[in-house]
């Protein structure tokens, strides 16, 4: 089937209308055929008014002690002030950071595991623990505590630091006060319609050799449990979900967001839990209920995919940290089960086996800042992942952690969450999270949208009512499109717009994952729209090189190519109505300098990176997927 992309710049009136207005809750699947036309039109009109809001759902303040010990003095209030556009200091006291454009929403997600330590070591001056050697070292920011004592927290299960807590129950009790304060501070900075905060924390389950099984826990409303339960009491995601199922009831709603699957030694999406037990059907049902979103990108790297590990997609080699694993017992390495794209494929297989898809993830990105600076994602002027990386030398030559494939120079400024919501409120944003109408960016404010429908016209991208039609006759990203006897491929309406302060767009892509009729999992990456009026090559499915480049002597861009917007209606040339499949969109900017290249230039070439890192990158954004459900396949 020959593809003729509809390539549109600046004249996408329907899309622009959808970006600039506001709107409500969408459904997870196609609207029933019984919906009266007038009602359907009203629903679509409201949905079309959703706008792209940008935020950060992974933020550590000085109450996260792995941030404090490296010099972070920005408490949760300072973090929210920064997100709203105020300047805050960094560790050296001389450097201030300020966003050029404030965020629309944020959540401070301090580690639950150290909230009790914060209370006992930093607040309770009359308590017995305040004079404990570990508390004294912590207040003095003595890094020996991090390199020696903090290893206890990296164990599974974690062990308490010295005598800060005489029992786990004592630490749990001490943690209640800062958890209550975190909630009050989130309410203090919530400005419905202007700036949204969420009551949240990070559950930080760890593995040997720095492995991470972490999840951010985001609550919808004021109704939250009395405790922010940690890995001291909940051994794995299984216990976390079970606890939430017991405690988050009666007007309490919550999602859990796994992050850094690239650093979880394959456990994030593996077929066994960290204790070696198999995931049960009950476990997978809880995962499906709570893990609505996955963090595909953050300061510690890219968790989308890696070339040679389940894919041959050349664009997957972007901000990667570790090498592929060499055997079953190898750790500190990447496996197929380390990546979100592979999890999406495995979800198709599990859906056939279990009748449910536990890996039906929407996509987001965030920063994981430990400076208390949410949304600080600019490559130019990047100040490090931790406050301890505040100098050019520390950033380029390692920082606090220097080991194979991992160190300050391998990290990046982090990404942003995008959500299509009717208004900037907790209710509207959380509804977008739940229905997975979200996207992630590598840091720039690129917007991206994806829809699927059986009867989309080929010229829909240019129509003034494109968004109304897209919602009314199909489904948005995050949803499932049922295959009920259709023989021809659905139309995928995909659109992206550049960050006005960043590079133009180079190419728009669709990533397809599917399970063929033999049960084999497969994938393919298609370029579907190219900048500068160029056509996709029919054989390679790639855009021609548009000539955009970078002058590495000063990081200026070369060439005048690129697009402010890209859009098309695309149909899969290999569509098979019997195959379970998903599609998500990815858009790439023209090349630009990586932060480390700016640092090398700032040192006049005197300081070189400790590890080989790219000089040039292509910033990007990822949409959430749309799933195709063939007749006879259980509903996800």
Reported as a single tens digit per residue, the pLDDT across 108-141 is 999 999 999 999 999 999 999 999 999 999 999 9
Strand duo 293-295 + 438-441: pairing? unpaired
pLDDT band at 386 (very low <50, low <70, confident <90, very high): confident
Q: Answer whether residue 156 shows pLDDT above 90.
A: no
Q: Tokens 């959500």 identify what position? A: 419
What whole-number distance in Å separates Cα of residue 424 and Cα of residue 418? 12
Task: Using CA atoms of 256, 262, 265, 271 in order, give the dihedral in degrees to the nearest 10.
Answer: 50
The answer to whether the beta carbons of residues 515 and 521 sit under 8 Å apart is: yes
Least confident of 383-387, 586-590, 611-615: 383-387
pLDDT band at 219 (very low <50, low <70, confident <90, very high): very high
Sequence-distant (≥ 6) Cβ neighbours of residue 389 within 8 angstroms: 383, 395, 399, 400, 408
Q: How many CA atoms lie within 13 A of 193 on its CB side?
A: 0
What whole-number distance in Å separates Cα of residue 6 and Cα of residue 466? 13
- Specify the pLDDT at position 388: 73
What CA–CA distances, in Å, run from 625 to 102, 391, 512, 581?
Answer: 28, 39, 9, 10
Strand duo 521-530 + 96-97: pairing? unpaired
DSSP string over 390-420: -SHHHHHH-TT--BTTBSGGG-----EEEEE
Least confident of 37-46, 441-450, 534-543, 616-625: 37-46
Average pLDDT along the chain:
90
The answer to whether the beta carbons of residues 362 and 636 sit under 8 Å apart is: no
What CA–CA distances, in Å, run from 473 to 35, 50, 491, 539?
Answer: 12, 17, 11, 31
* Mean pLDDT across 266-282: 95
What whole-number distance in Å separates Cα of residue 21 and Cα of residue 441? 21
What whole-number distance in Å separates Cα of residue 148 and Cα of residue 159? 12
Q: Answer whether residue 8 shows pLDDT above 60.
A: no
Sequence-distant (≥ 6) Cβ neighbours of residue 150 within 8 angstroms: 66, 161
Least confident of 354-358, 412-416, 628-632: 628-632
- Specify the pLDDT at position 405: 58
- Specify the pLDDT at position 22: 31
* Mean pLDDT across 93-99: 84
Q: Answer whether residue 14 shows pLDDT above 90.
A: no
What whole-number distance in Å separates Cα of residue 326 and Cα of residue 308? 13
Strand duo 626-629 + 480-482: pairing? parallel
Q: Answer whether residue 577 shows pLDDT above 50.
A: yes
Q: Answer whether residue 5 shows pLDDT above 50.
A: no
Report pTM.
0.92
* Mean pLDDT across 60-70: 94
What whole-number distance in Å separates Cα of residue 391 and Cα of residue 388? 8
């Amino acid at each position: 089937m020959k593809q003729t992309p509809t390539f549109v710049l600046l004249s996408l009136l329907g899309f622009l209308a959808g970006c600039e207005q506001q709107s409500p809750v969408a459904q997870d699947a196609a609207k029933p055929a019984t919906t009266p036309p007038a009602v359907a039109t009203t629903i679509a009109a409201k949905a079309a008014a959703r706008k792209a809001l940008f935020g950060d759902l992974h933020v550590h303040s000085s109450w996260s002690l792995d941030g404090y010990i490296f010099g972070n003095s920005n408490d949760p209030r300072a973090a929210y002030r920064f997100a709203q556009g105020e300047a805050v200091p960094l560790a050296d006291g001389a450097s201030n950071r300020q966003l050029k454009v404030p965020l629309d929403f944020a959540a401070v997600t301090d580690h639950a595991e150290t909230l009790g330590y914060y209370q006992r070591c930093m607040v309770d001056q009359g308590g017995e623990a305040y004079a404990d050697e570990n508390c004294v070292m912590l207040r003095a920011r003595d890094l020996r505590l991090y390199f020696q004592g903090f290893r206890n927290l990296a164990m599974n299960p974690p062990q308490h630091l010295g005598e800060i807590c005489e029992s786990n129950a004592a630490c749990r009790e001490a943690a209640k006060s800062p958890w209550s304060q975190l909630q009050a501070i989130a309410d203090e900075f919530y400005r419905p319609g202007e700036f949204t905060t969420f009551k949240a924390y990070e559950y930080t389950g760890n593995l040997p050799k720095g492995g991470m099984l972490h999840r951010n826990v985001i609550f919808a409303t004021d109704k939250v449990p009395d405790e922010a339960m940690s890995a001291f009491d909940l051994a794995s995601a299984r216990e976390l979900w079970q606890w939430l199922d017991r405690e988050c009831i009666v007007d309490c709603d919550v999602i859990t967001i796994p992050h850094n699957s690239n650093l979880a030694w394959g456990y994030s999406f593996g077929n066994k839990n960290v204790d070696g037990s198999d995931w049960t059907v009950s476990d997978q049902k809880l995962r499906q209920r709570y893990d609505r979103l996955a963090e595909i990108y953050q300061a510690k790297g890219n968790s989308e995919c890696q070339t040679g590990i389940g894919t041959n997609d050349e664009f997957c080699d972007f901000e990667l940290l570790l090498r592929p694993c060499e055997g079953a017992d190898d750790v500190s390495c990447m496996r197929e089960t380390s990546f979100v794209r592979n999890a999406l494929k495995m979800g198709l297989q599990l859906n056939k086996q279990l009748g449910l898809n536990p890996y039906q993830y929407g996509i987001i990105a965030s920063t994981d800042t430990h400076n208390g600076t949410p949304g600080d994602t600019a490559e130019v002027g990047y100040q490090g992942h931790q406050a301890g990386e505040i100098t050019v030398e520390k950033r380029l030559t390692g920082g606090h952690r220097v080991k194979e494939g991992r160190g300050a120079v391998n990290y990046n400024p982090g990404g942003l969450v995008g959500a299509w919501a009717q208004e900037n409120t907790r209710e509207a944003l959380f509804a977008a999270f739940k229905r997975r109408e979200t996207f992630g960016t590598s840091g720039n404010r690129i917007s991206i949208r994806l829809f699927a429908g059986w009867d989309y016209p080929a010229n829909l991208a240019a129509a003034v009512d494109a968004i109304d039609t897209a919602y009314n006759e199909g489904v948005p990203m995050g949803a499932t499109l049922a295959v009920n006897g259709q023989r021809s491929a659905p139309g995928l309406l995909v659109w992206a717009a550049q960050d006005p302060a960043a590079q133009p767009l180079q190419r728009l892509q669709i990533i397809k994952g599917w399970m063929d009729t033999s049960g084999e999992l497969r994938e393919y990456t298609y370029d579907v729209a190219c900048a500068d009026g160029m056509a996709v090559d029919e054989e390679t499915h790639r855009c021609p090189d548009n000539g955009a480049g970078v002058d590495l002597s000063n990081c200026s861009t070369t060439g005048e190519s690129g697009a402010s917007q890209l859009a098309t209606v695309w149909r899969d040339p290999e569509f098979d109505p019997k195959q379970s499949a998903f599609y998500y969109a990815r858009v790439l900017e023209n090349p630009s300098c990586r932060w480390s290249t700016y640092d090398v230039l700032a040192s006049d070439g005197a300081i070189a990176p400790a590890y080989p890192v790219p000089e040039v990158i292509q910033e990007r954004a990822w949409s959430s997927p749309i799933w195709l459900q063939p007749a006879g396949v259980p509903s996800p």
